[in-house]
Structure 1
Amino acid sequence: MAYRVLDLQPDPALLNPRFDGYKLRLVDSGSDGAVRTHQLQSASAQPQLLASNELFTYDEVCSRIHYNHLFVGPRHGTFVYFTKNRCAFLVDTSGACSPQFTLLFELPTRTSTSASQGYPGAYSLSDTHILIFDGTESLYVLQHIECDGEHWQATGVFEIGTGSVAAGPPGRGQRPNMNYVLGATLGHVKGAGLVIRMHICYRIDKEAAATQTRTGHSMPTFCIQALQVDMPTASPGTREVLGAGTLCPEIPALSTSTAHTLHTHAIPVYCAYVGWDQYILGVRGGVVLDDTELVLQPTDSSESTASAVLAAAAANTDVHHYHWTQSASDVTVCMELPQPLKSSQIQCELTRNTVSLHLAGGDPSLAKYACERVELYDRIVADDSVWTLENGRLLTLYLQKEHEGARWASVFSADDGVLEAMDPSELVAIRERLEKYTAADQEAGRSTAPLMQQYVDQDSGGDLEQLEEQPDASVMFSARDWRTGQAEATSVPGSPGWLCAAFSRAPAQLQGLQPGVPPVCLKFDVDGVVFSFDMSPSSSSGGSSSQQQQHVRVDARHAGTFSALSYVQASKREKRLISIDPDMAVAVLAEAQRRIYIYHQVPRADAASAAQNVVDLGGSGDDAEILGMQAAGRVLVVLRARSLCTIDLDSC
């Protein structure tokens, strides 16, 4: 399938320049009002704290602070949460009376030390299957037993532990790895029966080959694995019920296989499955490296080895001899040279509106990089623009824009067809590749900085305001093939920044809905723009006719706008959770304690204002903290340590 650009540019017709702000509308929180509080029929849902000596990156700390501890259940109005003593409970809020609580599963005592303890999670695969993650490395498949009542049985278990990894700077020793489950789906494979396809993520701390940003700070690397899990063929059927949440003496071990791996510099914020053979991934900075670039191993430090690796990498890119990206203030042009050069062999002249480049070397292919007073797309500040040469092979031009904020359609005034398709972190990957395979071009004894340099103090108590002040890279979305992980469509740098995803629907609700991919809400100026991922039939993937799988074309479409949402959420100092209704009726923001903000859609496209509700859930102590929230139609469900609150959105 041909590579395409996933267009995430807003439609001006769906923006409302007349919008002036939200108007507060009071909520009746009385006994018969819109807000009701129900005590949990279990132990408290307070998450376990980490040991004070655990070391995490800024990205990992953010993922824990903004972790949603309430999970969508298998049917409409059902949800799953975990108690402090590691029991999974299913709560049904669909009835007219009080919620019904059912013990699903009691997580076994952890015995392995190969993974650091994280937060447990529940992922509803269908109306009869739930995947339970213990927060470390074990996942259990629960299946509904066909009998009267709510009974579930553990029918399989598998491990995703990846052992210990280096714990940051040299001398810190080893630490158990921490795993993150990004998402999972259930389907049929011909000849194999039911299988689970899922994505997990864990951090890699590389010390030998550190990657550096332009500012000189090291960046962590996260490995994303696509796993396939074979389900047991036998079904619990109508077997004798041992009791709700019963842990069988022996749970069958399930076999797993890895389809592919990807590398990023951040934990993905979005992972959704498109049918059975494709998925959409959203990650800050984008994917930087994949398996195809790790197959070749250096046998020596010779120039021929470096050339072979660079040629293999070029096979996965376009045919142009440079890549480029831009920010509001500058343009970065990156060239991988076919042979190592010295800086004295390069002549580069930058003027206000032209660039001249001459390279002296024996390789005839260097001629294609040469240019003489070629006019740029727009003017630059020549005195602030520079060029650099790294490892003798990476030539980079940093062009400072004269008109800051103006977007360039191409590098040069005469468009040569080279799209702005370079992920900003792709430059990091190129540098890493050159450092790994061109050791002969580096000075002897040169030391490299460790990959991990900065850690967020675990004793900060979750200072959300401090975390929000950190720079936030733009999220890159890509539609990818399940088997290979290769991108079929990718957004480009400069797309709107990340805000939130929509609430997920229960699997039973998705039956008959094509597709069931949650929309996303992105930042555009002061607004929150909602993009849906639309599907259309496309050509089949390769292979024999019996193996061909139907692919779909994934396109992004600006489906709606929450006016001023980006502005109002930025003003909240302690926001913990934010999401939008899949039908784009409301956007909901939860602070760390007590308060819920509900922003309604404008009554008409050109309205100057919309309604806003502020709900104070009350509570004291640990029960004031908001741990999770989900929506079931027009009912918002909020989890706290000892209570569950339901908010009728129609009454707000």
Structure 2
Amino acid sequence: MSSFTPNHALLNPKFEGYKLEVISQEDAVTRFGLEYRPTQVANSGRSPLSFKEVQSRITHNHLAMENSSGRCLYIDSEHRVILVDLMNDSHTPSFTVVYELAAPISAPAAAQVHHEYPSAVFLDAGTAFVADGQGALYILALRAEGTAATLGSFELSDSTQTLHPAPTPIPFRIHCVAKTSDTTAVALLSSRFYGDSEASRKSMTSHASEFDVWAARFSVPLPSQNDNLVPLDILWRRRGQDVPIFTGYDNSRKCYLLAGSSVYREVGQPAPPSYEPSPDEMAPIPRLDEKLDVETPQRPPPYSWTQTSDTVTVAFPLPATTPTSSIKVTFSQKTLTVHVRGTFHVEGVPLPHYSAKQLWDGIQTSTSVWTWDREGEHSFGLLTLHLDKQSEDTRWMHVFASAGTPGGEEEVPETLDPSELYLIRESLEKYTEALQSGEDMSGLGLGRGVPALAQGEVDEEVDFSVGRVAFLTWVGEDGGIPVWSSDFGDSACNVLSIDLPGSGPGASMVVKNGIDGTLFTLDEAQTVGSLPTWTHGATFSALAFVLASKRDTRFTYHVSSKAVLAFENGSKDRGGNVYIYRGGRSGQIWAKQSVLKVGDGSAGSLLGVGTFKMAQGQTIVCLCENELVVMHNIF
């Protein structure tokens, strides 16, 4: 499985917060009014959109960016393709209508089908792929001036979707296009799968939906052809439960990468079974005067822990009848072993068992000790480990390195008040009594602290919702499963940010790690059969925590390890901001944060963003409903 394990040397447990670095709005931001205005109003079907479709439309980037030439594309409200040149001699963006798409036509047979937003991507500086959102794809040759030449017109249709009396073009969105060889280019598209009529009616009633990802193949160089729509040459097709968050082609491994909230399976495979909660997970509806939360005791964590600048203290509650001879504790510089032998346990309370578990950081084995205190008046005693830190003044985030990770140890919050460390014994006694009597066992007393950065401000429900869970699916060039997949499998992570469009080749993402954001970059393969590996290259400390406070965020992108940018949506009566969080070096307790106004109140909602490089540095382009906003020299 692909590993997203962070490099502890790049984490910064001493981090305290962000300090504002003021950037002059007048010097950094330039606005240009739009003659050809885009819109986020979609001509859709009469049936309601599913949640996944709504989410996809909210995060849809209406701006296509070509990094090397400073050109970008968008489609306006009149279905005209607008080419924007940002690197012309006048240093002022030029706007040219290079193509006009056919206006959408509503037909009774298509009343249940939702049109997509028009979308576009660049193959290179002179070639663009444009999808009209109704099922047609146009390949345009962009000239230095004037309108574009049409290199091809295609449509996507599928006879297996029997919602209509006859196959019709399927509305789709284009995600990316890449040259896979000197003679072949492949575009990745996504569309909603409607299936047969009965299944479609059920999915629309339940707001459930599935989506197809298509790989369409084109010959390079692209020959000119007439304006008649011809069927796309489909290389392969996958199906999942969401529109991809991002897609890409890894030339070094000759594979495609699909990232979404589900795995993208082969079309012939059955859909994964729906999740059925176990009886323990069911939440019954309370009756009048019924207190369900009192009747269901919550098991305390397996241990409690606290720390000072040079020590970590861990307390394990054990049954008081446990003899010392049954306890085995072994220290190494990086691992910890705790074994408790025998049958000296209480029903429902497992004994601790840790075999060479990796600690969060190194310890001094010669001065680390453990003690066993039975205290006869209690039904539980305390096995206490006193671990001397190898690196003083380094704050541990967890006891174990794998805490909180999939398949790792349970995440146990630190007890910041040392006097409450041993209350875990009393809480476990209350828990065992509640198991026997069914009475209330509230008042666990496991400490009331959180990391200093979030003291008094943590909302666990809000913080947990930050980011999007993404499963990574790899697909071979022919649509098959890569040969190394049997030893690899599908991997998942919580993505906080993806690459800002136009920032260059390669794949990277900022993954949630506690309250931090860790930047992982996909390594280039040495051979085609090499396993995908992701390297932790930088950390944006407390990124998840600060993003949780942004409730109007529309896009979150990053530019390598320089910065993460959170763009607000904005509106017609107030402009949105972009919040810029810069990466800091390990050991720094402060990092820089900047804020710039994207909209000025009349720009309208933010619809798309991208970037390209100029001689002066990185330039950010923001497409709003009424303005094009250009930001210079912010990195």
Separation (CA, whole Å) in 1 of partners of 2:408 and 2:171: 42
Is the CA contact 1:260–1:483 (under 8 Å) kept in the aligned structure 2? yes
The alpha-carbon distance between structure 1 residues 482 and 265, as it changes in their structure 2 partners (threshold 3 A), is same
Paired residue for 1:525? 514
Give the deviation of 1:584 after TM superposition.
1.8
The answer to whether residue 239 in structure 2 is matched with residue 263 in structure 1 is yes
Q: Which residue of the other structure, out of 532, 542, 545, is the alignment partner of 1:567?
A: 545
User: CA 1:380–1:68 in structure 2 vs 1: closer, same or farther (change >3 Å)?
Assistant: farther
1:502 alignment counterpart: 499
Equivalent residues of 1:637, 1:644 under 8 A apart: yes
SS of residue paired to 1:76: coil
Change (3 A) 1:573 1:551: same
Separation in 1 of the partners of 2:347 and 2:71?
Answer: 58
The Cα shift of 1:142 comes to 0.6
* Corresponding residue of 1:118: 116
Change (3 A) 1:556 1:161: same
Q: How does 1:433-582 map to 2 (within 5 A)?
A: 474-487=469-482, 488-489=484-485, 495-505=492-502, 516-538=505-527, 553-581=531-559
Structure 2 residue 269 is matched with structure 1 residue 293: yes
How far off is 1:85 after superposition? 0.6
**How far off its partner does 1:20 sit?**
1.3
Secondary structure of the residue that 1:568 maps to in structure 2? Answer: helix
Q: Whole-Å Cα distance in 1 between the matches of residues 11 and 5 of structure 2?
A: 12
Separation (CA, whole Å) in 2 of partners of 1:150 and 1:552: 46
Deviation at 1:382, TM superposition (A): 6.0
Find the aligned partners of 1:23 and 1:472 in 2 and give their Cα distance. 23
Task: Identify if the C-alpha distance between structure 1 residues 78 and 294 changes in structure 2 by more than 3 Å, giving closer, same or farther.
Answer: same
Cα deviation for residue 632 of structure 1 reads 1.6
1:563 is matched by which residue type in structure 2? S
Comparing 125-134 with 600-609, which one deviates more in the overlay? 600-609
Evaluate the alpha carbon distance shift between residue 179 and residue 408 of structure 1 in structure 2; reply closer, same or farther with a 3 A threshold. closer
Structure 2 counterpart of 1:55, from 48, 51, 57: 48
Query: Post-superposition shift, 1:611?
Result: 1.4
Q: CA RMSD in A?
A: 4.3
Q: 1:182 touches 1:201 (CA, 8 Å); kept in 2?
A: no
Alignment of 1:23-422 (within 5 A): 23-30=19-26, 33-40=27-34, 42-50=35-43, 53-73=46-66, 75-95=68-88, 97-111=91-105, 114=110, 115-145=113-143, 149=145, 152-162=148-158, 178-188=171-181, 193-204=183-194, 219-230=208-219, 234=223, 250-251=226-227, 253-254=229-230, 256-275=232-251, 277-287=254-264, 289-291=265-267, 293=269
Q: Which has the larger radius of gyration?
A: 2
What letter is aligned with 2:79? R
Per-residue deviation at 1:601? 2.6
- CA 1:406–1:110: 2 relative to 1, 3 Å: closer
Query: Is the partner of 2:523 in helix, strand or coil?
Result: strand
2:261 maps to amino acid: R
Give per-residue Cα distances to partners, 1:126-172, cap 9 Å, x unaligned: 12211011012100001134xx64652111111114489699xxxxx
Secondary structure at the counterpart of residue 268 of structure 1: coil
CA positional deviation for 1:187: 4.5
Partner of 2:379: none
- Displacement of 1:518 in angstroms is 2.9
Cα pair distance change 1:101/1:290, threshold 3 Å: same
- CA distance in 1 between counterparts of 2:168 and 2:140 reads 31
User: Is contact 1:586-1:598 (8 Å) kept?
Assistant: no
Q: How many angstroms does 1:68 deviate by?
A: 1.1
Quick one: structure 1 residues 226 and 382, their matched pair in 2 at CA, closer, same or farther if it must change by over 3 Å? farther
Give the structure 2 partner of residue 592 of structure 1: 569
Distance in 1 of aligned mates of 2:148 and 2:565: 32
| Cα gap change, 1:604 to 1:293, in 2 (>3 Å) | closer
The amino acid that maps onto 2:500 is F
Q: What is residue 604 of structure 2 aligned with on the other side?
A: 624
- Taking the aligned partners of 1:123 and 1:195, their CA distance within structure 2 comes to 13
Tell me which amino acid in the other structure corresponds to 2:246.
Y
Which ranges of structure 2 fall in alignment gaps of 5 or more residues? 273-279, 282-301, 303-340, 351-399, 410-460
Cα distance in 1 for residues equivalent to 2:228 and 2:181: 20
2:624 is the counterpart of 1:635: no
SS in 2 for 1:154: strand
Greater relative CO, 1 or 2 (CA 8 Å, sep 6+): 1
Asked whether the 8 Å contact 2:262–2:471 carries over to 1, the reply is: yes
Give the C-alpha shift of residue 271 in structure 1: 0.5
Matched, 1:9 2:5: yes
Aligned to 1:400: none
| Runs of 5+ unmatched residues, structure 1 | 168-173, 236-247, 296-312, 314-328, 331-352, 354-374, 385-402, 412-465, 511-515, 539-549
Match runs of 1:600-611 below 5 Å:
600-611=581-592
Write the deviation string for residues 234-273 of structure 1: whole angstroms up to 9, x where unpaired. 46xxxxxxxxxxxx9x425455332222221111112111
1:256 to 1:406, Cα distance in 2 relative to 1, 3 A: closer
> In 2 relative to 1, CA 143–159 (structure 1 residues): closer, same or farther, beyond 3 Å?
same
How many angstroms does 1:176 deviate by?
Answer: 9.3
Deviation track 1:55-84 (CA, whole Å, cap 9, x = no partner) reads: 111111011111111111364322111111
Distance 1:505 1:630, change over 3 A: closer
Equivalent residue, structure 1, for 2:632 = 648
Identify if the C-alpha distance between structure 1 residues 628 and 112 changes in structure 2 by more than 3 Å, giving closer, same or farther: same
**Does the 8 A contact of 2:495 with 2:512 survive in 1?**
yes
CA distance in 2 between counterparts of 1:574 and 1:175 reads 37
Match of 1:22 among 15, 18, 22: 18
Cα pair distance change 1:577/1:84, threshold 3 Å: same
Distance 2:162 2:347 in 1: 43
Q: How much identity, in percent, do the aligned residues show?
A: 19
